[in-house]
Amino acid sequence: MASLTIKDVCKAFGSVEVLKGINIDAVHGEFLVLVGPSGCGKSTLLNLIAGLESITSGEIRIGERVVNKVAPKDRDIAMVFQSYALYPNMTVRKNISFGLETRKVPKDEIEKVILKVAGILQIEDLLDRKPSQLSGGQRQRVAMGRAIARNPAVFLFDEPLSNLDAKLRVEMRTEIKKLHQRLDTTIVYVTHDQIEAMTLADRIAILKDGIVQQVGTPREVYETPANLFVASFIGSPAMNFIPASVVRSANEAAVILRNKAGKDFTVKISSGQEALSELIDGQELILGIRPEHASAGFVGRDDASLAHLDCEVNVVEPTGPDTLVYTTLNDREVVCRVHPDLAKRAGETMSLALDMSKALFFDPKTELRIAAR
């Protein structure tokens, strides 16, 4: 088990700068997820950690050792790929043991490792099969088993669940989480799926265009995103963004929200919000509100932080335990998560409540958060 330190790391392919000064630390035993849209640089960063690509500048440490010029086989890492990368002509047993054999580990010790790994991943009955005889989920377990057998300081996962169907992905996420709890080993996991990131990570590093936008726990990046990109990327359905302007009177601040029928509602900004003293009358901002904080009723609550609005329903999407209701505020589509019993039909008017104590505010020019809970 070891820590991982990425300091001022840059990577360029010719004149194209892919990573632009990355700084991330992962402590011993941490599950760190690198997440972001395609092309953000997350897989490139993983390849730099693995030694599959050379860094242009900066420093990568595994434990106390700088590994910039250390060969991949000598970095004490194990990597699990999206494509599984199993040897098709070898049995599961041989796939797991191959790396140990090349390192001249004694046969009796190899057999102990195989049985231990097979027990952890519940693949004891698959040891004599070949990859072609396995399902996608089973192949992924074998790929993880091969990595576990090496007992590395750091595990690297490169979108390992992308080739699985939706149900199996959920099951494998749970298995990977259990695996981390059993092994207590440092894991760096790359995905473009924010739900995967939220469910697996101790901390998440969110990348965009080769730049780290924010590093934090799942709760931190969800509740206090650093900017509009993080707020929009994390959460499903995504956060609502409503353009508005500030209205000040005495020591209070509010925003005006207009429904589809043209009726205006003065919505007070919660007194608990930070940086309200910096907001000036007429200032343009973006109000961010999560769908679960825009609902038809908050059980047991009737406090000043709830803003009540009458809105016409555009679209209704039942999801089972909740119903998503789409409406319009300030000419922007807004999605609200409501109890199925409270949802109206499309074209009808319903009373919605915004929990302004949970609202976030962003500067439309810099896209940075300017007020938070």
Cα–Cα distance between 177 and 173 in angstroms, integer? Answer: 6
Tokens standing for 357?
A: 């104590």
Within 10 A of 345 (CB to CB), how many other CB atoms are there? 9
Determine the pLDDT at residue 371: 58
Same domain, 16 and 155: yes
Last residue of a domain, one of 233, 255, 281: 233
Same domain, 305 and 177: no
* pLDDT band at 276; cut points 50, 70, 90: low
Tokens standing for 169?
A: 């992905």
Phi, psi angles (nearest 5°) of residue 13:
-110, 100
Burial class (CB in 10 A: 0-12, 13-18, 19+), 7: middle
Region 310-331 average pLDDT: 95
Region 314-329 average pLDDT: 95
Last residue of a domain, one of 204, 233, 262: 233
Determine the pLDDT at residue 301: 63
Determine the pLDDT at residue 303: 72
Last residue of a domain, one of 198, 233, 268: 233
Cα–Cα distance between 40 and 56 in angstroms, integer? Answer: 17
Largest CA-CA distance found in the chain, in angstroms, rounded? 80
Determine the pLDDT at residue 271: 60
Residues 6+ apart with CB under 8 A from 41: 11, 18, 19, 22, 207, 209, 210
Same domain, 70 and 135: yes
Region 57-66 average pLDDT: 95
Q: Which of 8-22, 251-265, 285-299 has the highest mean pLDDT?
A: 8-22
Determine the pLDDT at residue 373: 43
Determine the pLDDT at residue 372: 46
Same domain, 10 and 140: yes
Same domain, 90 and 130: yes
Determine the pLDDT at residue 1: 60
| Order of all β-strands in the sheet with 77-80 | 77-80, 154-158, 186-191, 31-35, 203-208, 211-216
Range of the domain at 335: 240-371
pLDDT at 57 over 80: yes
Determine the pLDDT at residue 145: 87
Condensed to tens digits (0 to 9), the pLDDT of residues 71-122 reads: 998 999 998 887 778 889 999 999 999 888 888 889 899 999 999 888 888 8
Same domain, 274 and 359: yes
Tokens standing for 172?
A: 């494998």
Condensed to tens digits (0 to 9), the pLDDT of residues 124-177 reads: 999 999 999 998 888 888 888 888 888 889 999 998 888 778 888 888 888 888
Condensed to tens digits (0 to 9), the pLDDT of residues 300-317 reads: 666 778 889 999 999 999
Same domain, 73 and 189: yes
Determine the pLDDT at residue 277: 64
Measured CA to CA in angstroms, residue 120 lies from 72, 96, 123, 295 at distances of 26, 13, 8, 43
Same domain, 155 and 40: yes
Cα–Cα distance between 129 and 92 in angstroms, integer? Answer: 6
Region 350-362 average pLDDT: 92
Same domain, 286 and 208: no
Tokens 């001249």, located at residue: 104
Determine the pLDDT at residue 105: 86
Same domain, 220 and 247: no
Q: What's the DSSP call for residue 344?
A: P
Region 3-20 average pLDDT: 96
**CATH number of the domain encompassing residue 100:** 3.40.50.300
**CATH number of the domain encompassing residue 324:** 2.40.50.140
DSSP-based three-state secondary structure for 146:
helix
Determine the pLDDT at residue 200: 94
Same domain, 331 and 199: no
Determine the pLDDT at residue 281: 87
| Order of all β-strands in the sheet with 252-258 | 264-268, 252-258, 240-249, 284-289, 360-362, 369-371
pLDDT at 275 over 70: no
* pLDDT band at 273; cut points 50, 70, 90: low
Amino acid at 301: R
Region 181-198 average pLDDT: 91
Same domain, 52 and 197: yes
Q: How many domains does the chain have?
A: 2
